[in-house]
Amino acid sequence: MNAHRPRILNHLLILSAGLFLVGHLCRTSARAGEVQLKNGTILTGNMWVMSSLSGPRVGRKEFLTIKDAAPVPHNILVVDRGWQVTFVPIQQVAGNQFNDNVVLKPQAFLIKHQKANQTQIVATVGTVKDVQPFDEFGRRRLTLETQKGPLQVIQGITQIEPDHVVVEGLNCQWKTGISLRAIPFSTIDGLLRKQVKNDDPAGRLGLVRFYRQAGYFPEAFKELNAIAHEFLDQQARCELAREELVDQWGGEVLRELGRRRKAAQHQLAEESAKTLSKQPLGGAVLADVQKFVADYDQSRLTIEKAKNLLIDGQAKLRDSKLVERLQPLRSEINEQLDFETLPRLDAFLKAEGDMQLTTEQHLALAYSGWVVGAVNAVTDLDQAIRYWDARFAMLEYTRADNPQAWQQHLQQLRQVEGVGP
């Protein structure tokens, strides 16, 4: 695949190559501690509600009485990820739905370091200079500019979780967090391997769990296969872990495909979905993948159907001048009709079997909907044509590069009757 494609979609090629065999798939019933905002952002963490940034938590009973109030009180949702706290107005939560009773239990690894000179406290962080990468033991050096001059700091990674690492000063008191993705995978993997004994299947299954929660799916599959091969008495546990792993992997890929589709990257989304559908998946995820692919097939059929309906409708018109007037409009629709523009013809397609509409009225739904959207489509064909005239005048006005042309197109626009903003 293209190097710029999302990492999770590139994993499809690895799986389709047969490196990982997946068993029966069953979807888990809940994704604890996750909330989606109205702008599409997904936040994960421990959650609660506060009435103000400095106020106490809102009790469960109190929240149930205020969440349906009109207007909704200005309360704040707090999402605590352990290393990062996000404050969001609850009005921005999609559907006003979230779970504030769940405490997340991510797979975490603790790393011990020797500390010295803990009397030195870093209260504020100024300019950071000379930041070195973390070494194989999870340590690094950096220089902080302080009021007393440059301060040489030695940091160590003391805790690794699926979305972040905790970093502490080893020669001073300073504790902070860094996104897991900000550190090379090879560094994280090396540190984890030092915490897990190679002959400990339980510990290595914990490593698989960590990879799964962190979204490192190829690494998780690879480690799980190695455990199943090296510890024959762990086959049952490996199969259970495999089901959980495939379930989450399939769900993540589907969500990514949905984002690709919303971003109009239809070829990428469809090709990836077809690759995913060839995996030995089962259960609800496989059904979702098959529906995802089927939706594209159905859209193609609908596009061809719409084009044929326009041809049939135009053939039924008896007014030759009207046919001639509609010809360039139909040509444009034929040329530009695709997955993105198909919704403009919804009103036209839904009215296909409406015998109360004349041919002109049915065509009006198509040509007006193409310009102003299916919701605003009209059954007056003359009005639909005026929409196109107004659209043409506005486009020509924006393309013009001199005042004389502006005035000409503006006058043309003003002559179009029955068309408002």
CA count, 13 A, side-chain hemisphere, 24: 3
Considering only 59-68, 192-201, 246-255, 362-371, which range has the smallest mean pLDDT? 59-68
Cβ of 412: how many Cβ atoms within 10 Å?
Answer: 16
Tell me the Cα Rg of the chain. Answer: 30
Q: Is the pLDDT of residue 1 over 60?
A: no
Q: For the whole model, what pTM was predicted?
A: 0.64
pLDDT at position 22 is: 31
**Contacts of 172 by beta carbon, 8 Å cutoff, 6+ apart:** 117, 118, 120, 121, 122, 151, 153
Quick one: average pLDDT of 21-32?
Answer: 29
Q: What pLDDT digit, counting tens, does each position of 240-280 carry?
A: 898 888 888 888 888 889 889 988 999 999 999 998 888 76
What mean pLDDT do residues 212-236 have? 93
* Banded pLDDT at 21 (limits 50, 70, 90): very low
Q: How many CA atoms lie within 13 A of 192 on its CB side?
A: 27
Distance CA 303, CA 293 (A): 16
The C-alpha atoms of residue 369 and residue 384 are separated, in whole angstroms, by: 8
232's CB contacts (< 8 A; 6+ apart) are none
Over range 353-362, report the average pLDDT.
Answer: 92
Which of 14-18, 127-131, 413-417 is most confident?
127-131
| Distance, CA of 325 to chain centre | 44
User: In the predicted model, is pLDDT for residue 104 greater than 80?
Assistant: no
Q: Which is higher by pLDDT, 6 or 344? A: 344
On the question of pLDDT at 93 being above 50, the answer is yes
What are 135-143's contacts with CB under 8 Å, separation 24+?
136/187, 136/190, 136/191, 137/113, 137/191, 137/194, 138/111, 138/113, 138/187, 138/191, 139/113, 139/170
d(CA 127, CA 150): 10
Residue with tokens 């106490």: 56
Helix (H, G, I), strand (E, B) or coil at 118: coil
More confident position, 398 or 232: 232
Helices assigned H by DSSP within 264-356: 266-277, 283-316, 320-336, 346-350
* Confidence at residue 121, expressed as pLDDT on a 0 to 100 scale: 78
**276-293 pLDDT, tens digit each:** 888 767 677 888 889 999
The tokens describing 122, both together, are 């870093």
Name the average pLDDT for the chain. 83
pLDDT value for 8:
52
